[in-house]
Amino acid sequence: MLSTLKFVLFTVISLLLVFTAVYVTILNTYKPVVRTYINGKFVGYFSDEQQFDEIYNDLVTEKQSIDENVKVYLESEPTFEKSYIKDSLLRQQNVYTNLRAEIKTEFTIYKVVVAGEEQMTFTAQDQADEYIQKIKAEVSDIDTSVDVQKVSELENVTSLDRANVILDDIIARNKPVELPPEPEPVVVYTPAYGMGAVVPTLMGNLAWPTVSREVNCDYWGYWGHNGVDLRASVGTPVYAFMDGTVEFAGWDSSGYGECVKINHGNGMKTIYAHNSVLHVTVGQQVTAGQLIASSGNTGNTTGPHVHFEVKMNGVSVNPWNVLNQIP
Ligand SMILES: [Zn+2]
């Protein structure tokens, strides 16, 4: 009787041990999970909904590391079905990859458009605005705008280094050209009789030195006469032929008498001789047609007139080469 009892007890204990072993084995092999679907598509087994949320949040953070303003979303809310799965299968699946494929992203990009062309792409409006202002500061009349776009992937975002290069290029190509000031009219006359190889450069206005344009004695009217004698009675105005600086104003003992010499630059000077009164002083700037003296009969003369002489680099040349240019 006792042996029968022992046998039953032994059998019960054995069965309990076997049952426990099988139970433990099953528990270790199969795990309770949630089968997860998004938009009807199976994306994987998660231990529970909380694990799904953790992985989803990891992926959101991953996208936000590219652009903090990115909008991350799923096309529909996930659905979960309770299930069991072999532990080995659970470990083989890659829920990160599966879920990453289902995640939708929407990036907002700001394109700097200059004269109809997209030049830069930024993820922040501030940066786009900043470059628009930089362009406007240098090129005020150029057409610029910020084009806001929504894209699913970020591509070709402009680095600040690159943006600065593009900025310099835009400014260089569009900056208004600063025109040099209008040059004074420069008339270059071809050499003629008596001028030698020297060509005077006449600048600005020209004025006849006397009121009268009549000539008493021409250039080389007698041997050695190196100017033109212009008719002028005593006390009539004598005018500067061209803009210049008074180089001499006073008595000239070589025969010019009361004399004015004007330096016009470019090696050209004019001489006005035999005056009665001088109205300018040495160093004075004069303009063409300005009163410089009153005519007279001083120095080596046979009567009142203005001896008008033109020198190029110290050599007397034919005054008609310049007098003929007076309109
Ligand atoms: Zn003379």
The domain that holds 200 is classified in CATH as 2.70.70.10
Among 174, 198, 231, give the residue marking a domain's end. 174
- Please report whether residue 12 resides in a domain: no
Among 150, 174, 198, give the residue marking a domain's end. 174
Provide the residue range defining the domain that includes 64: 27-104
Ramachandran quadrant class, 99 (left: phi over 0; alpha: psi -120 to 50; beta: rest): alpha
8 A C-beta contact, residue 52 and residue 60: no
218: CA distance to ligand 1 center in Å? 8
176: CA distance to ligand 1 center in Å? 55
Distance, in Å, from the CA atom of 117 to the CA atom of 80, rounded to the nearest integer, reads 49
**Segments in the chain below pLDDT 70:** 1, 178-201
In terms of domains, do 204 and 231 share one?
Answer: yes
**Backbone φ, ψ for residue 233 (5° rounding):** -75, 165
Give the predicted TM-score (pTM) of the model: 0.45
307: CA distance to ligand 1 center in Å? 4
CA distances from 1 to 4, 9, 13, 63, 89 (A): 5, 12, 18, 76, 51
pLDDT at 263: 96
The CA R_g of the chain, rounded to the nearest whole Å, is 52
- Please report whether residue 48 resides in a domain: yes
Q: Which two tokens stand for residue 138?
A: 């240098």
In terms of domains, do 197 and 318 share one?
Answer: yes
Helix pair 49-66, 95-102: axis angle to 10 deg? 60
In terms of domains, do 151 and 223 share one?
Answer: no
Q: Which two tokens stand for residue 204?
A: 């600005």
- Please report whether residue 170 resides in a domain: yes
215: CA distance to ligand 1 center in Å? 10
In terms of domains, do 197 and 298 share one?
Answer: yes
Residue at 143: amino acid letter: D
Among 55, 86, 104, give the residue marking a domain's end. 104
109: CA distance to ligand 1 center in Å? 85
In terms of domains, do 75 and 118 share one?
Answer: no
pLDDT at 1: 65
- Please report whether residue 13 resides in a domain: no
- Please report whether residue 279 resides in a domain: yes
pLDDT at 200: 65
pLDDT at 192: 43
pLDDT at 150: 92
216: CA distance to ligand 1 center in Å? 9
pLDDT at 195: 46
In terms of domains, do 98 and 128 share one?
Answer: no
